[in-house]
Amino acid sequence: MIELDELHIWRKLSSPYRNSEVIPSLIQELSKSLNKKIADELIWEHIYHQGSVYENTLATVPHVLMIIEESDDIEFNIDVLASLGVVLIYLDNISELEQIFEEDHLNEKEKNRIQIAFMDSIEKFRNLVNKYSHNTEILNEDSKRFYLIAFLVSIKRHKEAEIFKTFNINDEYIFVCPTCEEETFLWNEENVLNAYSSDPTTNKNQEKLRIDVNTSNINLDWLEKPIDIMNINSLKPLIPYFKGDINCHSCNKKHNVFKGIMNSI
């Protein structure tokens, strides 16, 4: 781990705005205050930007997880873990970590220290996410779905987590046919997932496409379990549709709905 007083290393770390030297002071302030605004500034302005992660991301995550581990503020801990879940979506293997170190301003010892500390912290992230999944009754539905992203990342379902990041509002999903790549629009209309061949916002008079619910043999236990644990009522009614089949309106091939949603990512 890069210690907070090693500013000569922090200054060299890549970041969205080339100002990684401010991170140690933010971490120290966050540790003392458990202030949500500081956590948001640290995560969304300094270590994650428009879907990109940086060298300072890898160096910062272990420190933030240490703060959560030592904190008894459940609401703060859940909120920050959910944010880290989004950050970690794109960090699911060693090769991706190595690609982050594209510039040659760190020596091998510094790189190794950062990578080892980050990889060690991932197990801590998994344990903390699982622990606090049983405290999500304090969250509203939007926040529960946001925390679901972190849960899926913690069980190495990174691409699936990206689905719930992309379609986080839960009002629509996109099915992309695995055979012909044609899109089908899936609209959540009062907890019923209706399918349309074109965007309903521009074509309001089209007929709905049939979804045969619960007909696929796809196993979604990994998704149903956290939804039940966290009591995410906004997603429970959609599970039968995710486990259903639909005939593509273009090529007429039948595919599982959730696999088609996965294909849109």
Single residue among 157, 191, 225 that ends a domain in this structure? 157
Is 117 within the bounds of a domain? Answer: yes
Residue 85's contacts (CB-CB under 8 Å, 6 or more residues apart) are 129, 146, 147, 149, 150, 151, 152, 153, 154, 161
Residues 119 and 22 in one domain: yes
Residues 176 and 150 in one domain: no
Residues 34 and 90 in one domain: yes
Range of the domain at 233: 172-262
Task: Count other Cβ atoms within 10 Å, centred on residue 124.
Answer: 15
Give the least confident one: 70-74, 130-134, 183-187, 198-202. Answer: 198-202
Single residue among 157, 191, 215 that ends a domain in this structure? 157
Encode pLDDT of 191-233 as tens digits.
999 999 999 999 888 999 999 998 888 999 999 999 999 999 9
Residues 11 and 81 in one domain: yes
Q: Is the pLDDT of residue 114 over 90?
A: yes
Residue 216 has what pLDDT?
87
Query: What is the H or E stretch that residue 152 is in?
Result: helix 141-154
Give the least confident one: 26-35, 87-96, 135-144, 197-206. Answer: 87-96
Pairwise CA distance, residues 61 & 84, whole Å: 8
Number of domains within the chain: 2
Encode pLDDT of 224-234 as tens digits.
999 999 999 99
Residue 204 has what pLDDT?
83
Residues 180 and 127 in one domain: no
Encode pLDDT of 26-74 as tens digits.
999 999 999 999 999 999 999 999 889 999 999 999 999 999 999 999 9
Is 2 within the bounds of a domain? Answer: no
Residue 192 has what pLDDT?
96
Mean pLDDT of 240-249: 97
Residues 210 and 234 in one domain: yes
Residue 199 has what pLDDT?
93
Is 182 within the bounds of a domain? Answer: yes
* Confidence grade of residue 99 (pLDDT, cut at 50, 70, 90): confident
Residues 76 and 195 in one domain: no
Q: Is the pLDDT of residue 104 over 80?
A: no
Name the maximum alpha-carbon separation found in the chain.
63
Residue 108's contacts (CB-CB under 8 Å, 6 or more residues apart) are none
Residues 72 and 145 in one domain: yes
